[in-house]
Amino acid sequence: MTNTQYFLIRRLHSLLGVIPLGVFLFAHMTTNSMAFFGQEAFDHKVDLIHSLGPLLPFVEAAMIFVPLALHIIIGIVIAQTGVSNTSDLGYARNWAYTLQRWTGWAAVAFIVYHAFSLRILDVAGGRENFFAYMSYLFRFSPVWPVWLAVYLLGGVAVIYHFANGLCTFCMTWGITVGPKSQKVMAGIAAATAVLLLSMLIGSMIGFYINAPAEAAAMGSAIQANVPAAH
């Protein structure tokens, strides 16, 4: 891979991380944070999304799944073929670079699990029961502290990867070229991370404190739907 090709592929990678994936992250976290205000507020947001009807799968593919797959593939290529220059970075940026890679792998694992368990397998039994299912995980599951830790750590990995990615996006695209502008952008990225983290924690609290009555009974229902081992 030539230097020009590497430069262009890094630009594409950073662009996909901000648009459209960053836009989707904000939309997704905003929807989930409605759980803090109760199931009705949460379901209203979900219904707005599903009002797209038959167009929804195409919108999701174009705005989420295809860009996400490209971002992951390109990220792996960069990680495997890129030349590390951490020795040329300052102490803080050196750590940021390292954490960006670590949280990248953690974010991929969490997103794959999240999509597989709640989207493809549809263990919630349909979007009508999604709120109850999440409430079951975070409050009534026998291992609810584990689910809290999984979603909190996975969410933090995604949030950090995106927020720090904003800084690298601006540097890669020549928006922040000097130390002063990069410092300002770092502050904006930190504020963005705090906002997203507050949404994440707010959603988890909401699923806990606003748990509907049927959430407590979901454990036995889920077990009943699990095929017996042969």
Question: What CATH number is given to the structural domain containing 168?
Answer: 1.20.1300.10
What pLDDT sits at residue 98?
83
- Polymer length of the chain: 230
Hey, what amino acid is at 16? L
Residue 137: Cβ within 10 Å count: 26
Do the Cβ atoms of 153 and 226 come closer than 8 Å? no
Asked, for residue 228, whether it belongs to a domain, the answer is no
Residue 175: Cβ within 10 Å count: 12
How far apart CA 161 and CA 155 sit, in angstroms, is: 10
Asked, for residue 44, whether it belongs to a domain, the answer is yes
Asked, for residue 225, whether it belongs to a domain, the answer is no
Whole-structure pTM over 0.85, yes or no?
yes
CA torsion through residues 200, 66, 16, 27, sign: negative
CB-based burial, 202-228: b 16+ in 10 Å, e otherwise: bbbebbbebbeeebeebeeeeeeeeee
Asked, for residue 227, whether it belongs to a domain, the answer is no
- Positions of the chain with pLDDT under 70: 1, 82-91, 93, 119-128, 219-230
What pLDDT sits at residue 228?
40
Comparing C-alpha atoms, which of 104, 130, 108, 98 is closest to residue 206? 130
Query: What tens digit of pLDDT does each residue of 55-106 get?
Result: 999 999 999 999 999 999 999 888 777 555 555 555 676 788 888 989 999 9
Asked, for residue 46, whether it belongs to a domain, the answer is yes
174 conformational bin, left if phi > 0, alpha if psi -120 to 50, beta if neither: left
CA torsion through residues 127, 158, 181, 198, sign: positive
Asked, for residue 153, whether it belongs to a domain, the answer is yes
What pLDDT sits at residue 213?
87
Do the Cβ atoms of 26 and 63 come closer than 8 Å? no
Q: Domains in the chain: how many in total? A: 1
What pLDDT sits at residue 7?
87
Asked, for residue 117, whether it belongs to a domain, the answer is yes
Do the Cβ atoms of 203 and 180 come closer than 8 Å? no
DSSP per position, 166-191: HHHHHHHTTS--SHHHHHHHHHHHHH
Residue 177: Cβ within 10 Å count: 10
What pLDDT sits at residue 83?
54
Q: 193: which DSSP letter?
A: H
What pLDDT sits at residue 167?
94
Q: Could you tell me the two tokens for 225?
A: 């739907």
Range of the domain at 41: 3-219
Helix (H, G, I), strand (E, B) or coil at 204: helix
Asked, for residue 110, whether it belongs to a domain, the answer is yes
